[in-house]
Amino acid sequence: MDEADRQLLRRCRVRLVSELEVAELWDALISRELFTPDMIEDIQRAGSGSRRDQARQLITDLETRGSQALPLFISCLRDTGQNLLASFLSNSRQAPGASIRPGLVDLNPIELTVPQMRQNPSKAMVENIPKVMTGPDYPRSPELRPVVSQPVTAGSGELRDTCDPGVRLHHEWAYVLDANPCGYCLIINNVNFCPKSELSSRTGSDIDCEKMQRRFHLLHFTVEVKRDLTAKEMHLALCKLAQRDHSVLDCCVVVILSHGCQAVHRQFPGAVYGTDGCSVPVERIVNIFNGTNCPSLGGKPKLFFIQACGGEQKDRGFEVTSASPEDGAFDSTVESDAAPFQKGPESSDQPDAVASLPTPSDIFVSYSTFPGFVSWRNISSGSWYIETLDRVFEQWADSEDLQHLLLRVANAVSEKGIYKQMPGCFNFLRKKLFFKT
C-alpha cells in the first residue's frame, strides 16, 4: 500500500472502527484474495474478539496487503452494502487533500532526525552526535533508538529523548502493553536432576532465576517461579498457564532455565530437560500457546526466553584482528548446559500436534545460543545470556523495542570467553514490542 492510502486509512480509522460491520466482510475479503482464511481467523481473535477490536485489527492489517488493498477494500464494502463507508473512503481518496501531509504520521521516528539535521547542519549538532560503538559497555546509540530526539542545543553534546510512554506504547506499529499487570510470566528453573538422568546440577541457575524474577516484576508482570520440574510437570505447568484467562492482559512470558539438547523439529529447534532426564521440545512448548490452545492470547505477544544448550558443539570462534586480553584462558567456573542429541522416535502425539498447527504469529522465541552449540553458565554469577539480558533490559528497556534489546544481548554475549556463544531468536511478531517500564 502506498503512503497516501496508508495515511488515509489512519485519518479515517476512528470512523471505520466505529461503523465497520466486519462480520459481513469476511467472505468478500477472502474472495477478492485480500486476506487468506488463516489471516481472517487471526483478525477475528484480535483483542477481546469484539467487533471494534476486529475492525481495528482489520484496518491495521489492511496496510500490509499490497498497493491495490484500499480500492479492493472499498469494493468489498460496496459488495456488502456498506455504501456510506465505501463512498466516504472513495471520495476522501480522490480529494485533493488526500495526499500525504508531512509530519502527520511517523512510521519511522528514527528517520525524522536526518532531514532535520540536513536542514540545519550546524557544526555543533554534527560534532556532538555520539558515535555508534559496540561492546560490553552498551554505549547509547541514537541510530538504534526507536524514538524521536529533540534537536541539540549548541554545545550541549547530547540527544534527549522526547518519547512519552503513552505515545510509545500506542504507536501504530507497536503492541499496546498498558494493562496492569501487563501479563503473566512463568519461570521454570531446573537446578537438580535425578541421578539416572546423568545430568549435572546447574549451579548458578538460582542467580539467573532471581534476576529474571526481579526484572519481569519491574516490567509489570505477575511472576510465578517453578523449580525442579520433571518433563511432565513442565508440560502441565505450561498448559495451566495457557488455560488461564488472558483476555484483560496484553502479553505472556515464559522463561526456561535448564539443560538442553538438539531435537527433531519442524518449526522451533532444540529441547529442554526436565529433572527426570526427559526432554520437552521447544516447539511443543511454544505451540501450547497457539491460537487454538490459548484463544485469550490471540493477537497478543507471547515471549519465550530459553537458557539451555542447543547441542554439544563448543565454538572457539574465528580469528579477528583484535581480542580481549581476558579471553586467553578458559574460566574453570564456567559450565555448559549441554546434553546429548535426542535421536529417539517422536512421541505418538507429535505428528498430529504439528500437522494441525496454524501459522505462528505474535511469537518471539529467544535462544541463549545457536542451535547445535553449548550455552555457558558461570557457577558464581549465572549464565552469560541471562546476566546480559538482565543488564540490557535494565539500561535500555525504557527506550528500545525487544528486537533492538536482543541485538545488544547477542553482540555482548558473542564477545565473551575463549569459547564463544551466539544468542539468536525466531521472531514472528507483527509489530514492535516496547515493555512497560
Query: Rounded to whole angstroms, how far apart are CA atoms 115 and 151?
Result: 12
Q: Single out the residue of 84, 103, 105 nearest to residue 8, CA to CA.
A: 105
CATH code of 177-428, in short, is 3.40.50.1460
Per-residue pLDDT of the chain (437 residues; tens, 9 = 90+): 788 888 888 888 888 988 999 899 999 999 888 888 888 888 888 766 788 888 888 888 888 888 888 989 999 999 899 999 988 898 888 775 544 333 333 333 333 333 333 344 444 333 443 443 333 333 433 333 333 333 333 333 332 333 444 445 445 689 999 899 999 999 999 999 999 988 989 888 999 999 999 999 999 999 999 999 999 999 999 999 999 999 999 999 999 999 988 776 677 888 899 999 999 999 999 999 988 889 899 999 999 999 886 434 443 444 444 444 344 444 545 554 544 444 443 332 222 222 333 446 899 999 887 665 666 768 777 888 999 999 999 999 999 999 999 999 988 888 776 666 788 888 999 999 999 98
Q: Strands across the sheet with 376-378, in order?
A: 334-336, 376-378, 382-383
Helix or strand run (H / E) with residue 41: helix 37-44
Phi-psi region of 99 (alpha: psi -120 to 50; beta: other; left: phi over 0): beta
Single pTM value for the model: 0.55
pLDDT for residue 171: 55
Helix axes 402-414, 384-396, angle to 10 degrees: 140
Q: Alpha carbon of 32 to those of 65, 218, 311: distances in Å?
A: 12, 46, 46
| Residues designated catalytic | 259, 309
pLDDT for residue 155: 33
What residue ranges do the domains of the chain occupy? 3-98, 109-162, 177-428
Secondary structure letter of residue 211 according to DSSP: H
Asked if domains 3-98 and 177-428 share a fold, the reply is no
Phi-psi region of 331 (alpha: psi -120 to 50; beta: other; left: phi over 0): beta
Q: Single out the residue of 186, 373, 349 nearest to residue 270, CA to CA.
A: 373
Residue type (1 letter), 270:
G
pLDDT for residue 209: 95
Query: Rounded to whole angstroms, how far apart are CA atoms 71 and 89?
Result: 9
Render 342-355 in DSSP notation, one character per residue.
B-SPPPTTHHHHHH
> What does the block give as the cell for 419?
569459547
> What does the block give as the cell for 321?
584482528
Query: Rounded to whole angstroms, how far apart are CA atoms 28 and 46?
Result: 19
pLDDT for residue 117: 37
Q: Single out the residue of 343, 323, 421, 316 nearest to residue 375, CA to CA.
A: 421
Residue type (1 letter), 339:
A
Query: Rounded to whole angstroms, how far apart are CA atoms 42 and 295?
Result: 10
3-98 belongs to which homologous superfamily?
A: Death Domain, Fas (1.10.533.10)
Query: Rounded to whole angstroms, how far apart are CA atoms 121 and 130?
Result: 15
Q: Is 324 exposed, middle or buried (CB count within 10 Å of its CB: 0-12, 13-18, 19+)?
A: exposed
- Using alpha carbons only, give the angle 224, 229, 230 rounded to the nearest 5 degrees: 150
Query: Rounded to whole angstroms, how far apart are CA atoms 363 and 423?
Result: 17
